Structure 1
Amino acid sequence: MTGHRDQWFGGRTYAQHGDDLAVLNIFHRLGIEKPSYLDVGAYHPFTLSNTALLYERGSRGINVEPNETLFAEFVKARPEDANILSGVAPICGRLPFHHVAADPGRFTFDLATAKTLGIVHSVDMPVMTLNQIVDCWCKGIWPDLLTIDIEGLDIDVLQDADFGDNPPRVVIVEADNGSGDTSHELDALMHAKGFTLHSWCGSNMIFVRVADADRIW
């Protein structure tokens, strides 16, 4: 099936739960046809990607992926994006990146999560904070979309982030990676940062700015 001509956003989704179609609808409501993005724990340029469909439709952004093999795929397939070989954490420096007995998408800097999955080996990798990435690659201006999936450190990284006066318009964050449901904590954290829950897509929560909510619903 190739989709129908009257489908506004096409007949294809790359995201695990159709998150990309939901996001395109939100940005359409906001009048943003080519939203910029910061994809943290980007995994793969197309497979299970929340941003591949946006790239295909003309958006550009930043992909952050610490797995060297997966990162190489971004360099080849998404050359017009900024691609960063690094982890993201509440600190800047180096941390052990744990390769586990699971899909590479589950590799993590979070030791507790890694232990539950079975550590195969660990490699020291550079890590940056979200604000360092935005300062260095976006001149301090947050992209329209922040999507984050880093297997256990999501809340710590978001807690550390300073969104300032111009935060992302939409934030996607994994609330349950099989290690436990963090949705209540995430909801409280994002509410404190000026966001409200728009919807769930599978195990991901989609948040929008409170100030934008009336334009979307």
Structure 2
Amino acid sequence: MALKQWIRDTFGGYRVRRVKSIRTQLSCKFDIGPWRRPGLDGIDVRLAEIFGFSREGTFIELGGNDGLQYSNTLLLERELGWRGVLIEGVPELAAEALRNRPKAIVVCAAVTAETDFGIVAMNDLDLVSTISGAPGRVCVATTTLSTVIDNVMNGSAPDFLIIDVEGFEMDVFAGLDLTRHKPRWMLVETKNEETITSLLHPKGYELIEKLSHHDYLYRLGNYDLTP
């Protein structure tokens, strides 16, 4: 018997939206369903749990890779109807992300403290990329996170921001105007948690949970995504 039909028969009267939420929770718990969890260390599933399996949120994933490998937004997008932006500085990976994630907006750029165009050092090993023969230096646009939010998201900060830039977190934050753009949740990969926390705490963010050895989840005030 199909899972959705079983839920309808068991919990009769539930709306389809509720059915999908239950299906997603079961899929996450038992690792079933048409997708396979790409998130490293089960972070994507933990995020879905923390967000209460909330549906139809918005995200920006900085360090989008190919849109599949180790993505912490794929589950949110495919199973919970979230929409958002993938930012990837390696052109080959950005092209793959465009193919792999047709529902997402893909931005090929290096996010820094200023918007410009120039030569940016892109070491594929440092970026945990796996492009065969990737050049050490590529010519890509550089932009700020606030510029992306203004131009791609009409100035509205996402519910969830992921920053995974292999040590360049402070450059990214230098280009994010937190007086205008305040994501509700932020997941930051960093080896300098104290520095990031010291930066974000005065802006109203609280460190909620350490999700892996270097991944830290911050929440703005008492904001909650749970239904």
Task: Tell me if both proteins adopt one fold, taking TM over 0.5 as the criterion.
Answer: yes
Would the aligned equivalents of 2:187 and 2:218 in 1 still touch at CA under 8 Å? yes
CA distance in 2: counterparts of 1:8 and 1:15, whole angstroms: 17
CA distance in 1, matches of 2:135, 2:151: 33
Deviation at 1:38, TM superposition (A): 0.4
Q: CA deviation at 1:124?
A: 2.5
In the alignment, is the contact (CA less than 8 A) between 1:9 and 1:24 conserved in 2? no
- 2:59 matches 1:37: yes
User: In structure 2, what is the Cα distance between the partners aligned to 1:101 and 1:72?
Assistant: 15
Amino acid across the alignment from 1:78? R
Larger radius of gyration: 2
What runs of 5+ residues in structure 2 fail to find an aligned partner?
Answer: 1-21
Q: 1:67 maps to which residue? A: 90
Q: CA shift at 1:9, angstroms?
A: 5.7
In the alignment, structure 1 residue 201 sits paired with structure 2 residue 223? no
TM-score by length of 2: 0.76
TM-score, normalised relative to structure 1: 0.79
| 1:192 and 2:206 correspond | no
| Structure 2 residue matching 1:172: 3-state secondary structure | strand
Offset of 1:34 from its aligned partner? 2.3
Q: Unpaired runs of 5+ in structure 1?
A: 108-118, 176-180
Large movers: runs of 4+ above 4 Å: none
Post-superposition offset of 1:150: 1.2
CA distance in 1, matches of 2:24, 2:92: 38
Q: Deviations over 1:31-50 (max 9, x none)?
A: x3222100111112111111
Deviation at 1:96, TM superposition (A): 2.9
**For this pair of structures, how many residues does the alignment match?**
194
Check whether the contact 1:94–1:126 (CA below 8 A) recurs between aligned residues: yes
* 1:120 Cα deviation from its structure 2 partner: 6.3
Structure 1 equivalent of residue 39 of structure 2: 15
Give identity over the alignment, percent: 25
Question: Which deviates further from its counterpart, 182-191 or 161-170?
Answer: 161-170
